[in-house]
Amino acid sequence: MIPLLRRKESSYEYLMKLDSLTIDATRAALQERKITATTLAEAFYSKIETDDPRIGAYLTLCKDRALAKAGEIDGRAARGDDLPPLAGVPVGIKDVMVTRGVRTTAGSKILGNYIPPYDCTAVARMEAAGAVVLGKTNCDEFAMGSSNENSAWHPVHNPRDLSRVPGGSSGGSAAAVAADMAVAALGTDTGGSIRQPASFCGVVGLMPTYGRVSRYGLIAFASSLDRIGPITKTVKDAATILQVIAGRDPMDSTSPDAPVPNYLAELEKPVHGLKLGMPAEYFGEGVDPEVRKAVEEAIQMLASLGCEIVPISLPHTKYAIPTYYIVATAEASSNLARFDGVRYGYRAAGARNLSEMYRRSREEGFGTEVKRRIMLGTYVLSAGYYEAYYLKAQKVRTLLASDFDEAFKKVDAIVTPTSPTAAFKLGEKTNDPLAMYLADIFTVTADLVGIPGISVPCGETKGKLPIGLQILGKHFDEGTILRVGHAYERNVG
């Protein structure tokens, strides 16, 4: 319940307990006329105005759009209409999803003034379900990064410790939810970019199966890896949002006509008897002892709920990082070729010919990490190295998929740490790209093989930094990982 805490002259001034707001609480308060969607949106904008200068979670706010939607929800509530599942819920949208009439930059100067003429399918479905879009959240440029320090505009700071990174590339979305500047947010996951920042910021991050959520309107990084998913405060909220955004979209050829189950009903199924795989490769060298301890304790709690813990092996895990950075950079070099200063986006001034205009526009518009990945991708796709690198990486990708296929013959889901460490310091890894890439060592494999995964908070370090438990599932079996995450969350209170 959201209490009325203060009365001011002839009008009410609501001071919201924003840290306790969930989707259910928001919708119930609106339905019962305890608050209005407009008042709630204004409260979140006040919070953003006060706190975001220190955090940097948002790049662009769209207050007119938000208040128009809030007014529509208030009208429905006043008439006594049943409210849609996300009615009045203030949300943030990662700035790689296009929004009609609202600046969309993908965290890059090359799209610094881009105003899209249409909405991303996931955003359109969120708004159709009543969500109030507050604005666009900061991200690593073109979603390329593990720390949200690669944004062309400014880095994002972790709300739990402003000296540390929030994780990337969806760090703005995770920070907005963790700092109570949105009830929920949409992020994208290409190599861990929903789950890792969720882990670092102490919130829930769900990556659906590849194709479960339409990518139409998502500015592509790596087309065979990119996925849209929710970042929320609870597993139930993640299930609610997935219910809204999942399903076939004729505008996306990779969106299958697969049935979408009732995810909220799946949450209530017992976990007793489920077999959970515990891969040895995710608990070995390189895992921080505090992270290992917290995750092992979480797994033991699941065992106490009746889950059977099964030791398994995913033997090709050690090849996941090099495989990912070959496949992802190859696709990035192809996808980013369109940003040439001709059709839309940044164009360098004063170029003397077409070749110079191409070169300077890309040189001035792209940041260091994006240039690095374009160069890597172009190299591995070149005639002399295609078979040695890209083709071999695709073969290893098949072996990784086989590892999971074999594992899922024995278990219903797999439990691991989300990240080998808690959030690291800002600037700690910026001069060591390889160390930065290794931060995704436990998340990239699920992206390569297309399975769903969720990160659920499972404790803290002695320094009060959040730790995440990762739960991986079979293709299109988000229901099981949501059920396991919900059972754990409910039993730790």
Question: What is the C-alpha to C-alpha distance for residues 493 and 488, in angstroms, rounded to an integer?
Answer: 9
Active-site residue, selected from the candidate residues 108, 193, 361, 455: 193
Among this protein's residues, is 193 annotated catalytic? yes
User: What DSSP character marks residue 89?
Assistant: -
User: If DSSP codes are grouped into helix, strand and coil, which group holds residue 235?
Assistant: helix
User: What DSSP character marks residue 391?
Assistant: I
- Taken in order 94, 95, 96, 97, the sign of the CA dihedral is positive
Distances from the Cα of 475 to the Cα of 211, 247, 289, 340, 478, angstroms: 10, 14, 31, 37, 8
Contact 30, 36 (CB under 8 A): yes
Q: Tell me the DSSP string of 184-223.
A: EEEEEESSSTTHHHHHHHTSEEEEPPTTTB--TTBPPS-T
Question: What is the C-alpha to C-alpha distance for residues 62 and 101, in angstroms, rounded to an integer?
Answer: 9
Contact 244, 85 (CB under 8 A): yes
CA atoms within 13 A of residue 310's CA, in its CB half-sphere: 18
Question: What is the C-alpha to C-alpha distance for residues 97 and 220, in angstroms, rounded to an integer?
Answer: 9
For residue 42, count other CB atoms closer than 10 A to its CB: 18
Active-site residue, selected from the candidate residues 147, 169, 199, 255: 169
Among this protein's residues, is 8 annotated catalytic? no
Active-site residue, selected from the candidate residues 94, 136, 233, 236: 94
H or E, element range at 91: strand 90-94
Contact 136, 103 (CB under 8 A): yes
Distances from the Cα of 215 to the Cα of 235, 246, 254, 277, angstroms: 22, 11, 8, 30
Among this protein's residues, is 146 annotated catalytic? no
Instruction: Show which residues are catalytic.
Output: 94, 169, 193
